[in-house]
């Protein structure tokens, strides 16, 4: 008689399904594939509202985001909510031994708090916002990035990831018309929020002038810039300034930066998503600075 291997096949299928799911989750966490559309996910009650947060309260979620926050000594942690599975993936060990309050929850518990669009992966961390940074701390940084009213937290998070990848010293944005520290921003940054100063200022023109005093050459990226980006580099400190998609740099910003430059692209499409443009510009700047 032939041996029944249906049990072995079922276990093998489950194993490979788990591997595929882990691979898919990792790619989604890195932003390589989109999150599921809302109409394909579990519907939340029509009266769901996001929790009211105190001014310094931040809710972070996602495995990479929370792991990076836990590893950041500057994070003031209030409470960790985690499923048993996520705790194992985060390798937290004995939850009762952690130096902050921890509660074991179900995915549905987190859904009720974070809503239908949050891919929380079974973990949520309540923290205080990171300490504010001052421009003087950037005196020794050769490369920084400045955003002129880039409003989409997903774009800012993606730019933050690239900034960390290219070892930029800081990401500077305006306090108005820019995303504050949040779970969406942190999730899009996939841990990068903990690794680079995110400096929010009140007046961009004044800040650009301060950067000049610190020795930075400020270069504004503009699709109609008078010369290619590569031809504008000079000195040993560079601040790249990028505007919002559609509007680009504001007129005051264009008048304040030391140079305006364009990214020359040989293909039929002449404009890029701001996060892609930031990555290309930082790569070019690092090549010039030889760092």
Task: Based on the fold, state whether residues 142 and 279 are members of the same structural domain.
Answer: yes
Q: What CATH number is attached to the domain comprising 101?
A: 3.30.1330.30
* Residue 127 pLDDT exceeds 80: yes
In this prediction, residue 39 carries a pLDDT of 46
Are the beta carbons of 254 and 247 closer than 8 angstroms? no
Confidence check: pLDDT of 42 > 60? no
| Residue in 47, 186, 203, 212 with CA at minimum distance from that of residue 123 | 186
User: Higher pLDDT residue, 260 or 53?
Assistant: 260
CA R_g for the chain:
22
pLDDT over 90 percentage in the chain: 66
Domain end (from 86, 112, 128): 128
**Domain containing 249: what range?**
135-289
pLDDT of residue 44: 56
Residue 258, domain member (yes or no): yes
Closest CA to 208 of 166, 255, 266: 255
The answer to whether the CB of 156 falls within 8 A of the CB of 179 is yes
Per the structure, the count of domains in the chain is 2
41 pLDDT more than 70: no
Using CA atoms of 269, 272, 276, 281 in order, give the dihedral in degrees to the nearest 10.
90
Q: Is the pLDDT of residue 14 over 90?
A: no
Same domain, 177 and 65: no
pLDDT for 18 equals 64
The reply to whether 148 and 285 lie within a common domain is yes
| Euclidean distance between CA atoms 100 and 87, whole angstroms | 14
Mean pLDDT of the chain, nearest integer? 87
Q: What is the pLDDT of residue 38?
A: 46
pLDDT computed for residue 279 by the predictor: 96
Q: What is the pLDDT of residues 140-191, one digit of tens each?
A: 899 999 999 999 999 999 999 999 999 999 999 998 889 999 999 999 999 9
- What pLDDT score does 199 carry? 94
Q: Are residues 148 and 261 in the same domain?
A: yes
Lowest mean pLDDT among 30-34, 41-45, 63-67, 106-110: 41-45
**C-alpha 169: how far from its chain's center?**
15
CB 256, CB 286: distance < 8 Å: no
Query: What is the distance between the alpha carbons of residues 29 and 190, in angstroms, rounded to a whole number?
Result: 7
């Amino acid at each position: 008689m032939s041996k029944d291997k249906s049990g072995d096949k079922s276990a093998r299928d489950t194993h490979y399904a788990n591997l595929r799911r882990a691979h898919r989750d990792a790619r989604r966490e890195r932003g390589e594939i989109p999150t599921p559309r809302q109409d394909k996910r579990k519907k939340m009650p029509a009266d769901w509202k996001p929790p009211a947060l105190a001014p310094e309260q931040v809710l972070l979620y996602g495995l990479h985001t929370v792991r990076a926050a836990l590893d950041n000594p500057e994070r003031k942690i209030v409470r960790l909510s985690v499923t048993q599975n996520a705790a194992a993936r985060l390798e937290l060990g004995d939850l009762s031994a952690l130096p902050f309050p921890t509660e074991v929850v179900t995915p549905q518990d987190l859904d009720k708090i974070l809503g239908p669009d949050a891919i929380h992966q079974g973990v949520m961390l309540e923290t205080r916002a990171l300490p504010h940074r001052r421009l003087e701390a950037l005196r020794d940084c050769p490369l920084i990035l400045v955003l002129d009213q880039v409003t989409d937290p997903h774009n800012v998070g993606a730019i933050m990831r690239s900034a960390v990848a290219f070892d930029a010293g800081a990401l500077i944005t305006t306090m108005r018309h820019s995303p504050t520290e949040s779970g969406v921003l942190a999730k899009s940054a996939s841990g990068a929020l903990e690794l680079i100063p995110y400096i929010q200022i009140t007046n961009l023109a004044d800040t650009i002038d301060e950067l000049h005093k610190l020795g930075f050459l400020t270069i504004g990226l503009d699709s109609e810039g008078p010369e290619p980006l590569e031809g504008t580099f000079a000195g040993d400190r560079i601040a790249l300034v990028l505007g919002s998609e559609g509007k680009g740099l504001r007129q005051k910003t264009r008048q304040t930066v030391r140079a305006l430059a364009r990214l020359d692209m040989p293909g039929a499409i002449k404009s890029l998503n701001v996060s892609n443009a930031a990555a290309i510009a930082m790569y070019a700047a690092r090549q010039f600075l030889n760092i």
